[in-house]
Structure 1
């Protein structure tokens, strides 16, 4: 596959992160369309799917990606990782407040919109600044390993926001393993989009 002139090909880690970012936007778009159509059941399902994805993505980055930035990018990596963790904290705090709130309210819509606007800026910064610096530093093999580790980590981390939990490993890893089973039990009783609904969004 060729890369258009003037662009930089994405490494495996960047591709994995960007794929998650795109899913967030798709889920939020599905939420807003359901809300506009007056279908609060669908809106609730998509909101839950969005929160689920953002929570897993954030912890996955904090456990796998940010330590790599700190290790390979020196003082600049430390600064970028600290800013990214601060962005995540902003999102976690607000998601936690609406996690158990009624979806049938204008306040919920406003809060979710604020969260997504913040995430857009954060995600764009990661894709245009953080990852283009990190990819050359870890090389193609390191990028592949990091992408695989990121995807695997997401399977075991909490699926709901925990703003008071540590955001640096190894304490974050330990806290995540404790919280994840409780989150998954809650998820078992929560409403999520069907597989057919997900396919419609991606088509």
Structure 2
């Protein structure tokens, strides 16, 4: 299992920054979109895409958006806008219109890369970015593998509810044999 690094024992904080973590997750999402375009009838690809996107959005809601709210001028408006777009994306992932979901994922990746992440990188010390990255990796592993658009999307409630939904989803995935990781393809 790929777990984030242990807390520091002195010196620099080990791990990847939240910017590196989010960018890696975005690359994974984009590669899944490409795979879905080449294999549109493969239910495993769609299943993995939905699971990866659901985990990613939950982790962003727990750590990226609160950091934006705190560190970036006008961060409340930015975070609220992103949360609304994420809720719309979760609804699309719940349905059958993968074309609209694909377009929404591409918009999500572009907005983060062009706007949110550069601002966060400028405003937050690198050690704090690494701590946020470690927490985001942990949150992603505990997150639900299915979209839950009606669940809480802001702390503290999402940090309580998301891991519980994650346990339920992972149990359902195990019982049904559903694939949820890129390595399963």
Give the TM-score taking structure 2 as reference length.
0.84
2:95 is paired with a residue of what secondary structure?
helix
Quick check: 2:52–2:145 contact (8 Å CA) kept in 1?
Answer: yes
Distance 1:170 1:85 in 2: 15
Distance 1:141 1:174 in 2: 26
User: Who is 1:105 aligned against?
Assistant: none
> 1:95 Cα shift?
1.3
User: Who is 1:86 aligned against?
Assistant: 84
**Where has structure 1 moved over 2 Å in runs of 4 or more?**
190-197
Q: What does the per-residue CA deviation read over 1:67-121, in whole Å, with 9 as the maximum and x for residues that have no partner?
A: 01111114x11111011101101111111224xxxxxxxxxxxx11211112212
2:37 aligns with one of 32, 48, 65: 32
Max Rg structure: 1
Distance 1:122 1:27 in 2: 14
Structure in which a larger fraction of residues adopt helix: 1
User: Who is 2:98 aligned against?
Assistant: 112
Q: Pairwise mapping of residues 4-153 of structure 1 onto structure 2 (< 5 A)?
A: 12-35=17-40, 40=41, 43-74=42-73, 76-98=74-96, 111-153=97-139
Quick check: 1:44–1:191 contact (8 Å CA) kept in 2?
Answer: no
Give the aligned CA root-mean-square deviation in angstroms: 1.8
Q: What does the per-residue CA deviation read over 1:24-48, in whole Å, with 9 as the maximum and x for residues that have no partner?
A: 111122122123xxxx4xx111111
1:155 is paired with a residue of what secondary structure?
helix
Unmatched tracts of structure 1, length 5 or more: 1-10, 99-110, 198-203
2:124 is paired with a residue of what secondary structure?
helix
Quick check: 1:14–1:127 contact (8 Å CA) kept in 2?
Answer: no
User: Who is 1:156 aligned against?
Assistant: 142
Which structure has more relative contact order (CA 8 Å, sep 6+)? It is 2
Q: 1:156 to 1:191 in 2, by over 3 A?
A: closer
> 1:22 Cα shift?
1.2
1:124 is paired with a residue of what secondary structure?
helix
Distance 1:121 1:165 in 2: 22
